[in-house]
Chain A
Amino acid sequence: MNPIEARAALDSIDAAQRDLALKATYCPPWRHAAFGAVLTILVLGVGFGPAIQLPSVVIAMAGVAWLVTDDRRRYGVFVNGYRKGATLPVTLALLGVLIVTMAAEIHAHISGLSVATKLGIAGIAFVVSLGASVAWTRIYRRELMRGAA
């Protein structure tokens, strides 16, 4: 193999990954909202004690399973959110916010704070999850389009 063939091989990698970006990374707004809703259910359930929390966990898990199945069916691709790469900081930041909002819900439950407070905390979780989903998709797409080869 000579350098020109090597350059062509690297270019073919970039071209394939750009094609992947164009054909399998479009995420409709409802998909971002659905992801946010699933995580919000998980967070909100914590604020209402075991009677609500357990069903909310089941609903959230079912929601995750549905989203994964739908992604596979629609795009023919599955990408783990915890993948290494430029998207990992977004994933870890979202995880951090979820832990903080869950802790806040637990505090609200123990302290007997109002339902409005619990809904407010869940609202923050929704907005952050929605934003993280949008950011994650954009960064992933940019990574594929940029081409690292």
Chain B
Amino acid sequence: MSVDAIDMLLHPPARLQIAALLAKVSEMEFAKLREITHVSDSVLSKHLAVLGDAGYVHLRKAAVGGRQRTWASLTRAGASALDAHVAALRALVAHLPAAAE
């Protein structure tokens, strides 16, 4: 695994965190994603739009408690891309001396 395997779509920290969070749940609501990633509504919306356009994330609107909310989930393509990206990161980290880790 080389640096070429790094997925530039998942390279921005917030986007990587979004994908990593969605990998651990079936669906997460927009507000919860914002709370954990510590980004603004507009920044999160942009990241989700990029991930959605790439087919990595599926977005849907649904009413919960009478309010319309956006729910995000990781697609199979997104999960595969995240796995490959994390593997590439691990391969890079393997070059670090133990003390630096």
Q: How far does the alpha carbon of A12 sit from the alpha carbon of B92 in the complex, in Å?
A: 15
Question: With A16-B20, A19-B36, A149-B86 given, is the CB distance from A6 to B92 under 8 Å?
Answer: yes
Contact assessment for B95 and A12 in the assembled complex, using a CB-CB cutoff below 8 Å: no
Q: Is B61 an interface residue (CB 8 A)?
A: no
Contact assessment for B89 and A16 in the assembled complex, using a CB-CB cutoff below 8 Å: no
B80 to chain A, nearest CB (A): 14
Q: Is A144 an interface residue (CB 8 A)?
A: yes
Chain B residues near A92 (CB-CB < 8 A): none
Q: Is B57 an interface residue (CB 8 A)?
A: no
Q: How far does the alpha carbon of A70 sit from the alpha carbon of B17 in the complex, in Å?
A: 25
A68 to chain B, nearest CB (A): 10
Chain B residues near A10 (CB-CB < 8 A): 86, 89-90, 93
Question: With A2-B92, A3-B92, A6-B92 given, is the CB distance from A76 to B86 under 8 Å?
Answer: no
Residue from B17, B35, B71, B96 within 8 A of A13 (CB atoms): B17
Q: Is B21 an interface residue (CB 8 A)?
A: yes
Contact assessment for B20 and A149 in the assembled complex, using a CB-CB cutoff below 8 Å: yes
* Cβ contacts B1-37/A at 8 Å (1 or 0 each): 0010010000101001100110011111101100111
Q: How far does the alpha carbon of A69 sit from the alpha carbon of B101 in the complex, in Å?
A: 42
Contact assessment for A17 and B20 in the assembled complex, using a CB-CB cutoff below 8 Å: yes
Q: How far does the alpha carbon of A4 sit from the alpha carbon of B97 in the complex, in Å?
A: 10
A-B contacts besides A1-B3, A78-B25, A79-B25, 5 pairs, CB < 8 Å: A10-B90, A24-B32, A72-B29, A79-B26, A144-B24
Residue numbers of B with Cβ under 8 A of A are 3, 6, 11, 13, 16-17, 20-21, 24-29, 31-32, 35-37, 64-65, 71, 86, 88-90, 92-96, 100-101
Residue numbers of A with Cβ under 8 A of B are 1-4, 6-7, 9-10, 12-13, 16-17, 19-20, 23-24, 69, 72-73, 75-80, 83, 143-144, 149
- Top 8 closest pairs, chain A to chain B, by CB: A76-B32, A76-B29, A6-B92, A16-B17, A13-B20, A6-B89, A3-B96, A80-B26
